[in-house]
Chain A
Amino acid sequence: MTLQTQIQVQTQVEPENIIENTIVSADNVNVFYGEKQALSNICLDVPRNKVTSLIGPSGCGKTTFLKCINRMNDLIDICRVEGEIMVDKQDIYDPAVDVVALRAHIGMVFQKPNPFPKSIFENVAYGMHIHNLTSSKTEMADRVEVALKSAAIWDEVKDRLDQPGTSLSGGQQQRLCIARAIAVQPKIILMDEPASALDPIATAKIEELIDELRQDYTIIIVTHSMQQAARVSQFTAFFHMGELVEHGKTKNIFTNPNDERTQNYITGRIG
């Protein structure tokens, strides 16, 4: 317990790591799977319109934390979340919060590309359709085009929008999933290792895309690749054994970590 407090104190003290204009703010978050505690006392602020990457060895709780932000953990019967997560100054675990509305504002891109087995057009249009975001067919078509363009996949699919999304290559599928997420214009996009199933070229495209999307969206990305974290993110949080060890500006974490465990992880000694 004392150790955890120390860490918090440390991370808060570093002056260059102070985060301004937060959009997501977690305070003392504990997550349990049945009896097992997966996250303990996570306090993390995520800045608006920046890319924050969550790094750490497998099983450290970074995906669990990510899924807390859009309450996907609700789907797991035995999962229990304590503490407070504020998104735009609203506690998302307040009983009055409607998860459907929440998830419309917080999009998610998964580790494995998971387009619906429907046409490319329908994949992107689906979110707008269920949230009633468009009033006419032409508006829908326009917004699908905009979403596909923002996801940098329009040129590749514009001639075959009626073909199944599953017929695309892995990297294209993942960009389609990003288009699907941004079509409903969320504030935040959560990405759970979005490039881990892709080859280096597709990964490069996704990373480029993430950098562009940062203009309009806040992105929180879980990644196993420290190079990727270093390339795409402005802020980095290092998780270890269910604890948030350290978080701050990416360049500080990678060049001058405060904690020995962070040092060991980024130099490849643990993980």
Chain B
Amino acid sequence: MINSFTTPTPQLKRRHASEKRFQWLGKIAITIAIGFLLVMVATISWMGIGAFKQTQIQLPVFLDPDSIDRTAPINADYGAIIKKALREKFPDVTKRRDKRKLYKLLSSQATFTVQNKVLENPDLIGQTVAIWFIASDDVDMYYKGNISVDEAGNAGKLDKKQLQWVTALKKSGAVKTVFNSRFFLSGDSREPELAGILSAFVGTALTLTVCFALSFPVGILAAIYLEEFTPKNRWADLIEVNINNLAAVPSIVFGLLGLAVLLNTFGLPRSSPLVGGLVLALMTLPTIIIASRAALRAVPPSIREAALGIGATKIQTVFHHVAPLAMPGMLTGAIVGMARALGETAPLLMIGMVAFIVDTPSSILQPATALPVQIFLWADSPERAFLEKTSAAIMVLLAFLIAMNLIAIILRNKYRQRF
């Protein structure tokens, strides 16, 4: 019995207390989750941000007309020209071993830099030109401050002498960092300073396109058929249980399936986005079907009754009324599936998308790799410079994911109808 509205009974107090407790637990849980997320994003950004910058070294290069044939400038030995330029910059280096160390300050790409300059403008032959070269990964790491000098005076792979040269270059203003457009515009490389994300990015885009083009229509049609047309009997139950089980199958099993069936039986091209997309589509299908069925089930039966009651056929009812209302939910399911497919590495390893791919694939039949596989490959590389590449690749992957989700949200809001 309540005597007053202002003095709660002990029992009521307990009820309020338990509600407060629950709310606090929820707040703590959310704080912890956000904390972990922030730590992850901050760490990755901190480690990876350097990869978006590139260290360059400027050298005056004398384009000797004696060693460059004006009629065929492409055949000249530009390596020798650069070595000469380096020796002239540091005339006191005489020992053969030191010279070799000196040459290692620049990336192996340097010869192409000079070559391209000359091919672009043959008039430069005979002149001394100041050219910015990509520094080698060790110089890059040191200059960006990612590695520090130890007691012996070495920094990573750079020894004392190399450090002196870098310092000298720095003092003369011949070292700078620029935005690393190469990271976004080139494929993988054995040299960390040259490695880029483009081939993996395009590979992922092609693979996901194949995956979406297959799994979305098939998944939605399967869901519509199972939800709206099949009689509810033992077979339907069996199919439902199996789809639910498929959704929980480890992804590497789908990779093995792709290897055994798609590659070995049907002879589809190894490492190709087509096979990758097919395997990921198989993996994504159950997720899309389950989510789409749930979305269809959430459409009020009154809409179906209204359409059927006016004499619409079942197929008209579904495609004119039910499916459009379920579309936002179906899209959500598809995007959850695609997000999972985006991050999937194991099945792609099985079908050979782990190969070292430098060229950007231009069709779904060409060998390609994918972003998560690229991350896996770089994380596995011993060079110190790949560490920041790995983090940067993760950032690109996350950006891809966010972009994908954003598109899905926009589409969902566009299709959302009230009922």
Interface string of A64-79 (1 = CB under 8 A from B): 0000001010010100
Contact between B306 and A114 (Cβ–Cβ < 8 Å)?
A: yes
Residues of chain A within 8 A (CB-CB) of B23 are none
Contact between A127 and B310 (Cβ–Cβ < 8 Å)?
A: yes
- Chain B binding surface, main DSSP class: helix
Interface size class of chain A, counting residues whose CB lies under 8 Å from the partner chain: 20 to 34
Interface residues of B in 271-305 (CB under 8 A from A): 300, 302-305
Interface string of A220-260 (1 = CB under 8 A from B): 00000000000000000000000000000000000000000
Contact between A114 and B311 (Cβ–Cβ < 8 Å)?
A: no
Q: Which of A17-25, A44-52, A103-111 is the contact stretch? A: A103-111
Q: In whole angstroms, what is the CA distance A180 to B310 when docked?
A: 8
Residues of chain A within 8 A (CB-CB) of B266 are none
Interface residues of B in 374-419 (CB under 8 A from A): 417-419
Partner of A117, one of B231, B232, B308, B417: B417
Partner of B306, one of A77, A116, A130: A116
Tell me the minimal C-beta distance from B414 to chain A in angstroms.
14
Tell me the minimal C-beta distance from B330 to chain A in angstroms.
16
Residues of chain B within 8 A (CB-CB) of A103 are 308-311
Contact between A131 and B418 (Cβ–Cβ < 8 Å)?
A: no
Residues of chain A within 8 A (CB-CB) of B325 are 117
> Is B113 at the interface (CB under 8 A from chain A)?
no
> Is A210 at the interface (CB under 8 A from chain B)?
no
Partner of A101, one of B305, B311, B321: B311
> Is A154 at the interface (CB under 8 A from chain B)?
no
Partner of A184, one of B303, B308, B311: B311
Contact between B417 and A114 (Cβ–Cβ < 8 Å)?
A: no
Interface residues of B in 161-212 (CB under 8 A from A): none
A to B CB contacts below 8 Å, 30 in the list: A70-B309, A72-B305, A72-B308, A75-B308, A77-B232, A101-B311, A103-B310, A107-B309, A108-B305, A108-B310, A110-B306, A110-B309, A112-B302, A114-B305, A114-B306, A115-B306, A116-B303, A117-B325, A117-B417, A117-B418, A126-B307, A126-B310, A127-B310, A130-B310, A130-B311, A166-B418, A166-B419, A180-B310, A181-B310, A184-B311
Task: Report the 7 A-B pairs with minimum CB-CB distance, sorted nearest first.
Answer: A104-B311, A114-B302, A108-B309, A103-B311, A117-B417, A127-B310, A114-B306
